[in-house]
Amino acid sequence: MDPITSVQNPTIKLIASLQEKKSRQETELFLAEGRKVLARAGEKSWTAEYLIFREGEAAAEVEGAKILIVSDKVMASLSAQANPPEVIGVFRQRIIGEMPLPALTDLWLALDTIRDPGNLGTIIRTVDAAGGTGVVLIGQSCDPLSTECVRATMGSIFAVPLVRMSEDRFLHAAVGWPGEIVATRMEAREDYRRPYRAPVLLLMGSEGQGLSPRVAGLANISVRIPMPGGTESLNVATAAALMLYEIRRANLA
């Protein structure tokens, strides 16, 4: 197979456009970069629409995927990284609009208007690591399939179910939740180091504004993370990691 050497190739232009949110929305596709990330996709039964290999790299045939070999220049045009990877995958998006009925041991994390894609990607990776069930994005959250977010997940984007909902739809869906609905709030009296009754729906707010009053009002327990030092707040990804591992404490090997 001869390598593609022109960035004006129509397929290359389409793939390059997926770095933009508008194109991802129109095509319902997204990019993932690097062999380790794509190996995780394979483990979770995701099939790429395209696999783009840099010229000189070993290209593997994958059922259902169109294989492209490209020059270094073309690969650089497809990647947002300073050092482009050896392979890029293009995948069909999987974001659902409704929360599944929770199982007895579920742990869902609902994020209210998260804006930073790096934080969101780190949180998705932590949900995967801690054995969480999935992530709900409420309101005008950033795009979880942006290149920055996908890269920060280190492959967990393929392992963690994602739900996107308006605030109204989320409020309706959470009515009758059979376990605990937990909010993290700075003014809460209860320490986060406590037992939790599964299934757990954990509510966490945006980096700047926190939880909206309506979302916070769903909680049947509010907890705080002590901060005896000088800072007023934690990064939301750090706070999410503390909460997820505390909730999952009894399940940790």
Q: How far apart are CA 252 and CA 250, in angstroms?
A: 6
- Mean pLDDT to the nearest integer, 161-168: 97
The predicted pLDDT at position 34 comes to: 93
3-state secondary structure of 234: coil
Confidence of residue 148 (pLDDT cuts 50, 70, 90): very high
CA 188, 191, 192, 198 dihedral sign is negative
Q: Which fold, 10-93?
A: 60s Ribosomal Protein L30; Chain: A; (3.30.1330)
- Neighbouring CB atoms inside 10 A of 91's CB total 23
Domain segments of the chain as ranges: 10-93, 96-251
| CATH number for the domain formed by residue range(s) 96-251 | 3.40.1280.10
Buried b (16+ CB within 10 A) or exposed e, 49-87: ebbbbbbeeebeeeeebeebbbbeebbebbbeeeebbbb
Confidence of residue 253 (pLDDT cuts 50, 70, 90): low
- Mean pLDDT to the nearest integer, 187-199: 95
Instruction: Cite the DSSP H helix spans in 117-222.
Output: 117-130, 147-153, 167-174, 213-216
What pTM did the predictor assign? 0.95
Give the percent of the chain with pLDDT over 70. Answer: 99
- The model's pLDDT over 32-73, given as tens digits with 9 standing for 90+, comes to 999 999 999 999 999 999 999 999 887 777 788 999 999 999
Return the structure tokens found at 70.
Answer: 């490209």
- Mean pLDDT to the nearest integer, 7-24: 97
- The model's pLDDT over 120-138, given as tens digits with 9 standing for 90+, comes to 999 999 999 999 999 999 9
Return the structure tokens found at 49.
Answer: 């629409």
